[in-house]
Structure 1
Amino acid sequence: MTGEEPKAEPTAGPGGSGEVRVVVVGSANLDLVVSTPTLPRPGETVLGDALRTIPGGKGANQAVAAARAGARCDFVGAVGQDGFADQLRANLAEAGVELRRLRTVPGPSGVALIAVDADAENLIVVAPGANAELTSLDADDRAAVAAADVLLCQLEVPLPAVTQAAGWGRNAGTTVVLNAAPARQLPAELLDAVDVLVVNQVEAAMVAGLAAETGLDALLDALLRLVPRVVLTLGARGACYADRFGLRLTVEAPTVDAVDTTAAGDAFTGALAVAWAERRGPVEPAAVTAALRWACAAGAACAQRPGASTALPTRDEIDALYAQSYPEPA
């Protein structure tokens, strides 16, 4: 946040060691999921399998991912006054996520309609519901952000709340990680508070204001004019990293038999937040590589199971796939 390159602290293991605190400000949705041989085109109806109801939402998923990856995690969000809210609360609590800052507001909870095809690709439509009511935060939220190692935000809740939380994080010295999804161009006030921007290629082009077919290097160059560090996810191909200190690298993802990629990106981002917090800001190439590989292992492990939050891996599962996929050199 200062523009000076921080010093990495020594840690053990791919994800570091020691408990860290992550605060997630974001959405909670109940996912209504149908598997189908192919995704429908505009105007097309396709037949699917049985409907599944699975707790999700980018914010809640990333909170569960961070908690299962070993962090103490607080979730700042909102649910409605309906039966879906009970499922959402129970899922977060079961993962060990702290819920004191989860509001209950009038009306329905957020809902996501998800179709998943035979190749594990998905199509998602979100009705925000209670998430749209999270327009501002309070003093208790500010204290939680200030006490955290990492603040993790997405864009499924109103931008004023995200900007408010990020500003608090910047002022408190908390590392601010923004997963800019759903993608949009962002105000300078928010971008100035971001330490690490996490985006896929479509999101990167949208945030940078460039064409979707823009090459990776050009995307990274454009984004580094906005934020000091960028992680650009490439799905099954892995992830790229670039920062203003001259470091640029790419890591490959583990090869797995993917069943459902719905929450793989959330697994990646939650695990990355934990690895980053444990390393107190990895800046050396080896540390960044390890953190990205660990996050890729989390995403790949998630893709091996159906569902959103129900598929998010534990720390032991991430460690196992990391060790299997990235053996230490002889």
Structure 2
Amino acid sequence: MSIAVLGSTNMDLVVGVRTAPLRGETVHGHDFRTIPGGKGANQATAAARAGGAVTMVGAVGDDEFGRRLRAGLAADGVDVTGLRTLPGPSGTAHIVVDAEGGNSIVVVPGANGGVTGLAEGDEERIARCDALLLQLELPLEGVLAGAVAAREHGVRTVLTPAPARPLPAELLAVTDLLVPNEHEAAALTGLSDPRAAGEALLKEVPEVVITLGEAGSYRVARDAEPVRVPALPVRAVDTTAAGDTFVGALSVAVSEGRPVPEAMAWAAAASALAVQRPGASSSMPTRAEIDALADGR
């Protein structure tokens, strides 16, 4: 259950509105919160709360946000010795959440932009783990360096291709599991049907799990039959961290040796809990909460 995460840490600046503004429009918000986030830190938090032993690799700035981000991860039991501090501001994400739980996000990289490779000790941190979780909020050369190191040490690589962008062949060649949402899968393949997109992606990576929001998730692999797992019916309040919660919980379940359909269902329960609460890291459930929902308690 040992998981390394090479990824972003951001302070989320979250505004709640009834309806998101159109271009050139001003609307009234009804609340404002600062919540630790970033896709990397979110996945680290989700995995730690789901019961994994998690190491975070990345960077924060030498500002108050950086101190809060580091302290928040540590409070959840994440090992932050690989979270370096760089001069300047930490990353921020500016998030508008509407009354139906939908969101739009602008990310300012800050210190995350300085992670262009592995720092001293990072390769050893990755090598000690069972899996490495990656996303695309860091410079691509930093993501690739982590994936290459993981492959060299026999560590399973799990890539969330978000924000969506073209993926170089050398990164796909060292990716074991690709976890896009349906929009990212369509952007990568040009195919809107998740099944067709999954089959296309199998030409590049050995396993793909596509998250489908309210429709659940869909898994294809070169050595297994396709699997479709439904989502749990809930009323979403904020979907900001749904995907990261799913990936963190899925990685823990797979690392424990659970069958993939069972792992996907358990991760779906984690996401269902997260979307019923506001915020990113603040919404993520504990292992006991996930077990209770997954077991129907």
TM-score band (shorter)? Answer: over 0.9
Alignment size in residue pairs: 297
Q: Give distance in 2, aligned partners of 1:192 and 1:317.
A: 36
Q: Tell me, yes or no, if structure 1 residue 228 matches structure 2 residue 206.
A: yes
- TM-score, length-normalised on structure 1? 0.88
The Cα shift of 1:205 comes to 1.9
The Cα shift of 1:276 comes to 1.3
Counterpart position of 1:32:
13
**Greater strand share, 1 or 2?**
2
Q: Residue deviations 1:74-99, cap 9 Å, x none?
A: 00010111111111011101100001
Unpaired runs of 5+ residues, structure 2, are: none
Q: Give distance in 1, aligned partners of 2:199 and 2:130.
A: 27
Counterpart position of 2:110:
129
Counterpart position of 2:88:
107
Q: Tell me, yes or no, if structure 1 residue 50 matches structure 2 residue 22.
A: no
Structure 2 residue aligned with 1:309, among 278, 281, 284? 281
Q: Tell me, yes or no, if structure 1 residue 66 matches structure 2 residue 47.
A: yes
Q: Give distance in 2, aligned partners of 1:207 and 1:145.
A: 27
Counterpart position of 1:119:
100
Structure 2 residue aligned with 1:254, among 232, 238, 248? 232
The Cα shift of 1:207 comes to 2.2
Q: Give distance in 2, aligned partners of 1:236 and 1:300.
A: 9
Q: Give distance in 2, aligned partners of 1:247 and 1:187.
A: 27
8 A Cα contact 2:186 2:193, kept in partner: no
Q: Residue deviations 1:158-183, cap 9 Å, x none?
A: 11111111111111111100011001
Q: Give distance in 1, aligned partners of 2:288 and 2:52.
A: 13
Q: Tell me, yes or no, if structure 1 residue 141 matches structure 2 residue 113.
A: no
Q: Give distance in 2, aligned partners of 1:21 and 1:139.
A: 20
SS of the residue 1:320 aligns to: helix
Structure 2 residue aligned with 1:268, among 231, 236, 246? 246
8 A Cα contact 2:273 2:285, kept in partner: yes
Q: Give distance in 2, aligned partners of 1:135 and 1:206.
A: 25
Which amino acid counterpart does residue 117 of structure 1 have in structure 2? D
Please provide the CA RMSD for this pair.
Answer: 1.1
SS of the residue 1:125 aligns to: strand
Q: Residue deviations 1:222-246, cap 9 Å, x none?
A: 1001100000000121100000114
Which amino acid counterpart does residue 72 of structure 1 have in structure 2? A
The Cα shift of 1:277 comes to 1.1
SS of the residue 2:178 aligns to: strand
The Cα shift of 1:72 comes to 0.7
- TM-score, length-normalised on structure 2? 0.98
Structure 2 residue aligned with 1:155, among 120, 132, 136? 136
8 A Cα contact 2:131 2:157, kept in partner: yes
Unpaired runs of 5+ residues, structure 1, are: 1-19, 326-330
Counterpart position of 2:267:
295
8 A Cα contact 2:173 2:204, kept in partner: yes
SS of the residue 1:273 aligns to: helix
SS of the residue 1:53 aligns to: strand
Q: Which moved more, 1:256-265 or 1:295-304?
A: 256-265
Counterpart position of 1:5:
none
| Bigger RCO (CA 8 Å, 6+ sep) | 1
Counterpart position of 1:319:
291
The Cα shift of 1:206 comes to 2.0
The Cα shift of 1:139 comes to 4.2
Runs of 4+ in 1 over 6 A off after TM superposition: none
